[in-house]
Structures are given as C-alpha cells and as structure tokens.
Chain A
Amino acid sequence: MISKYLTMIKYQIIVSFKHNINYKLNLISEGALFTATYFGLIFFNTNLQHDITMFIIGFIFWSIGVIALGSSSSLIESNAKNGLLELKMQSEFPIVFINFIVTLIIIMTRLVTLLILITLTFVMFKEQFGNILPVMFSFIIAIPAIFGMFGIGLIFGGITIAEKSVGSFLMIFQGVLLFLGNTTRPMIYSFESLIPYVLGIEITRNLYTGETVPMQILLYIVINLLWFGVGCTVFQYFINRERKYGIFDTY
C-alpha cells in the first residue's frame, strides 16, 4: 500500500511540475505579483526597515499560508471546471490527500522565488548573515500552518463545489490576512492567534529575539489541527452533498 502512495506522489509531482511550468505566463505573473507585494511592503512601510529580519519572518509565514489557502481552494475550482475533479473522484486515494500533495508542490516551487527575494534583501539592507538562521527556522515552524491554511482553503473549496465559484472573495481574504495578522507588525490582539500562522510568526520572532516560547507551540499546533479538521469535515460535507444532488460537471 505504501508503494502505491509513493507511486501516486511521484506521478503527481511530475504532472504538477510539468503542468505548472507549461503555463509560463501564469507563472511569471504570479511571481511578479509576489515580488511586487514583497518589495512594496518593505519600501512603503518605513517601520519594517528597522528590522528587516522580523519582516522576512512574517512574510515567509504569510506567503506560505496564502499559497496553501489559495491552491487548496483554486485547485478544486479549476479541477471542477476541466473535469479533473471527476478524475480524482475515481482515485483510490482521498481527494484531500491528492490536493495536499499538489499544494506542497506549489509551495516548493514558490519557495525558490522567496529564497531569491530573501537573499536580495539581505544584500540590499546589509543584514547580518547570522540572522539567516531564524529565517530558515521559519520554513520549518511554518509546517503546521500549512495544514491550518490548507484546511481553510478546503472550506472555500467546499463552497466552490456548491456555488461553482467564489470569485474574487479568496483574493480579498488573502489580502485582508496580510494586514489582519502580525505579518507586518507585532501581534496586538489575542484573537489574531486564530489565524493559522500568527503564532508561528510569534514563536519564530521570539526565538530570534532570544525570548522563551512556553505554551505557544502547543496552542499553535492545536489551532492548526483544528482548522485542518474543520476544513476536511466541511469539504467532505460539500462533496457528499454534490455526490447526492449534483453531477460534478456543470461549471
């Protein structure tokens, strides 16, 4: 059984990579938008320039989070439109698992751009290269947030199956998250910690400044597992509803 999973993952990586690389304009425009957001935040928010490492930590979490959110949701919408959802519905593997693999592949692809941007920033702002360690830690500490944000994406995906499209709502939500959480500033309100990556940012920044991180890690993991669980449940509800009352091909 494990070899079946490994084979599926192998071919999903091949297909996703080749498929994405062939949509060159899409890849370029997404990369350009990502770069513009990154440098826009640095240059138009003078507060961030005081501690660029703090900002980079926040941006890593936000970007990984919104990719997980966006790909989880938009994948379902695009798959439903081109019939690939029906293909995946025939699979021996759970559709959530397949889409999670695709999401990880998209995150990996985007990390290349992110690493280039981080290197450029370190050179431009003459940051100490010793600070690279907490930045690299961000990628590891962000792993639970991938699950949480993916879970929220599944909620949007479920709504997409029912409503056929969520329009620009997802993009608005991603933008709101950028300013609602602690990406570009310290955490102010405790409710912010409900956003999957917020406590991850706090933990990494505390590690960077040498502060302790007692109960935050546990809470961080619990919040993300909850979002993942809620996402899977909601998505499964909409899939079951569509299986009973829909036909999966009118988009």
Chain B
Amino acid sequence: MKLLAGIIESNEGEIKQIDANIKYPQWAKSNIAYIPAGDRTLYYKISVKENILYYAALKGENINEVLNKLTYYANKFVMEDLITRKVETLSTGQKKKAQLLCVLCTSKKLLLLDEPSSGLDIDSVYELQRLLTELKEERKIIVSSHDFNLISNVTDEYYFVEAGTIAKHHLGTLNQDDFLAIYNEVKGML
C-alpha cells in the first residue's frame, strides 16, 4: 500500500500510471489518498474536523468542497457530534472513522484503505460496506483487509496475497462462502 501511495519505492520492478508524463510518486501525491493501518497519522490534541481540513490542505484540496463532503460523510457515518471532538477522546473505532473521513473528503481518484475495518463495531462495518459500494461507482478503491465480512459481497476484484506474492486472483464479486473457499484453497496450496 505504501508503494502504491508513493511513500516508499520498490527495490525491483516499477509502478506506472497511464498518464506517464510525470514520475509515479509525484502522480500518487496528486491522485491518491491513503490511510495506513492503525490510528496513526492523526493529531490527537486537535478535533476530527481540524484533522480532516489539515489533511485536505496537505493534499491541495479546495476547502469549501471538503466542508461539503464532510457534512455528507459525517452524516453517513453518524459522526456529526464527533467531528468537533478532540481525537484523543475518541474510541479506536471512532478514530478509524476519523481517518476514513480524511480520505473520503478529498477529491482523489484512487483511495487506498489499509485495514479500514479494524476497531469498527459491527454496525460501522456494515456502514463502511454500504459506503464502499456507493463510492466505487465514482472512484477506484483498493482495500487491504483480513476482514472477509467487509470485503465479500462488495469488492469487484480480489488478490489473495501470501508471503508477499499474489497466490490467487479472482475477478468478480465473491460471497462469504466462495471467498472462504478460495482462501482455504490458497492456504492449502502453500
């Protein structure tokens, strides 16, 4: 995910985008919004809203558009009352939602979500699932997850990665049973 986000560089091979006029890391900065696993990358002593606006400013976003998106997504995530609270007062799941709001409120074409459901309660996972279904119509999303509840029934394409290599690729949405069947097959193969 960090390679795709342009944060680190590969030792072998390379990543290229269709518009190859600029180097990939530079393209990634302008077109990708990434949230890492865990609740790092948030300032704890300031509010969720301030974190979102700061992230947007770092990504060169139009702040008025970000504020409009924030109203929409805060409502979706039932976060209206939380966005003015300091991050340090939030639960793990709420911090995760705050991170998600940071990337969702940008206008970036590609969203990279690393373990987005970690710490989320069951309702929030379903809400995230609904949101991903809605969002994938307008943007590309790459999710790295161990949570098959989240990624089954939502994702259009699956890469099963084991020990740093792609063990299996599946095109098309999988339900939970099919997902687990492929997972077990991959595990059995290794």
Contacts and interface: CB of A to CB of B under 8 A. Distances in A.
A83 B54 CA distance: 15
B58 A8 contact: yes
B57 A7 contact: yes
Nearest to B63: A7
A86 B41 CA distance: 7
A11 B60 contact: no
A84 B46 CA distance: 14
Contact of B54 (A12, A90, A92, A246): A12
Contacts of A11: 50, 53-54, 56-58
B36 interface: yes
A10 B36 contact: no
Contacts of A90: 5-7, 28-29, 32-34, 58-59
A98 B40 CA distance: 19
B11 interface: yes
B108 to A, nearest CB: 10
A23 B43 CA distance: 12
B7 A22 contact: no
A123 interface: no
A10 B53 CA distance: 10
B6 A247 contact: no
Contacts of A50: none
Interface in A86-115: 86-93, 98
Nearest to B33: A90
Contacts of B41: 83-84, 86-87
Given A22-B45, A83-B41, A243 B57 contact: no
A8 B57 contact: yes
Contacts of B59: 90-92
Interface string B1-40: 0100111110100000000000000001110111010101
A83 B37 CA distance: 11
A89 B46 CA distance: 20
Nearest to A22: B45
Interface residues of A, number: 32
Interface in A234-251: 242-249
A242 B46 CA distance: 29
B45 A23 contact: yes
A15 B36 contact: no
Interface string B81-113: 000001000000000000000000000000000
B55 interface: yes
Contacts of B9: 243-244
A4 interface: yes
A19 interface: yes
A10 B43 contact: no
B36 A83 contact: yes
Contact of A92 (B11, B30, B34): B30
Interface core residue of A10, A92, A98 (most chain B CB under 10 Å): A92
A232 B9 CA distance: 20
Interface string B162-173: 000000000000
Nearest to B2: A247
Contact of A15 (B32, B50, B86): B50
Most-contacted residue by chain A among B7, B33, B38, B43 (CB, 10 A): B7
Contact of B60 (A4, A19, A84): A4
Contact of A18 (B29, B50, B55): B50
Given A4-B60, A11-B54, 9 more contacts: A14-B53, A14-B54, A15-B46, A83-B41, A86-B7, A91-B29, A244-B11, A248-B7, A249-B36
23 contacts: A7-B63, A11-B57, A14-B53, A15-B46, A15-B54, A18-B45, A18-B46, A19-B45, A22-B86, A83-B40, A84-B41, A84-B43, A86-B2, A87-B55, A90-B6, A90-B7, A90-B32, A91-B59, A92-B58, A92-B60, A243-B9, A244-B11, A248-B8
Interface of A: 4, 7-8, 10-12, 14-15, 18-19, 22-23, 82-84, 86-93, 98, 242-249
